[in-house]
Amino acid sequence: MKIWKEIEDFKVANPVVTIGIFDGVHQGHRFLLNHLIKAASEVSGETVIVTLWPHPRLVLNKDPENLRYLSSLEEKIYLMEKAGIDHFVIIPFTTEFAELESCIFVKEYLVDRIGIKNLIVGYNHKFGKNREGDFENLKLCAGIYNFSIDRMESKNIEGVKISSSLIRELLNSGDLALANEYLGYDYFLSGKVVGGNRIGRKIGFPTANILPDDSHKLIPRDGVYAVHLEINGTLFPGMLNVGLRPTIETGMPIKTVEVNLFDFKEDIYDRNVYLHFRKRIRDEKKFTGIEQLREQLVIDREIARGMLEGK
């Protein structure tokens, strides 16, 4: 997949295009992307994803403190490449860009620079100034600039309409299993291993603290999880605690993401990793002391090992 941050020299034969944020690149998105790939193959064309970054809510200052997304830009690129997309175009989102009317955007970007032949949009797609670029508006633009346009219906699983907001709700509530089903893969985050207070090492459960690459990345509900840590393409099994560590923290609590890898001795500080959330084990809770915590961790480790068998 080729990544474009400048499109002045963009030249692609018969580009078949879709536009969106595609947070999480979940099964609903994949439903549209598969249609995009099929449509491109029918005209000997190439698939083109057009996305906006930074996230519009950050630029427009719409409650940025509470913004949490399923995939950072780098994670989105990774998922799009796995989906088999040919071209990924990143258009810088600015306050000036936000004032563009949808049909002007279509002409200046999709027609003049990309040379669009076919546009495929989702069932609820809207963009442009005041989000006036809905399907009916885009059909008028397509007629003016001589390209075809198709609208996809929503992707439903057992009657449920799949959306990024629904998956965020599931992760925040602790329903990892259903979130992963709707994603079509196990939720993951990319980050770096950073130093901690090494208390886990003292009780026989050394942990690696993971700092997400993007501060707006959604971290699932506090608790204990069975996970794999991916290091240079190799998966290592372990268990993860997300939360405030109430049993051992005595000062101002800080939320941490700490993974204990099974039978692992390597020093991985400062390494870039992917953390894959496989199964949820339990909520985080406060124990009477370190010894009771250690006893529970022994139980959690055996549960996690069982959950990860065959993964």
pLDDT of amino acid 253: 64
What does DSSP say about strands 46-53 and 15-19: parallel, antiparallel, or unpaired? parallel
Q: Residue 289's pLDDT is what?
A: 81
SS (H, E, C) the chain: CEEECCCCCCCCCCEEEEECCCCCCCHHHHHHHHHHHHHHHHCCCEEEEEEEECCHHHHCCCCHHHCCECCCHHHHHHHHHHHCCCEEEEEECCCCHHHCCHHHHHHHHHHHHHCCCEEEECCCCCCCHHHCCCHHHHHHHHHHHCCEEEECCCCEECCEECCHHHHHHHHHHCCHHHHHHHHCCCCEEEEEEECCCCHHHHCCCCCEEEEECCCCECCCCCEEEEEEEEECCEEEEEEEEEECCCCCCCCCCCCEEEEEECCCCCCCCCCEEEEEEEEEEECCCCCCCHHHHHHHHHHHHHHHHHHHCCC
Q: How high is the pLDDT of residue 236?
A: 97
Q: What is the mean pLDDT of each run of 10 residues along the chain (311 residues)?
A: 94 94 96 96 97 93 93 96 98 92 92 96 77 82 94 91 96 98 98 78 80 96 97 96 75 79 91 97 88 92 94 68
Q: What pLDDT is recorded for position 192? A: 97
How high is the pLDDT of residue 200? 61
CATH numbers and ranges of domains, the chain: 13-160 (3.40.50.620), 187-308 (2.40.30.30)
Query: In the prediction, which pLDDT does 126 show?
Result: 75
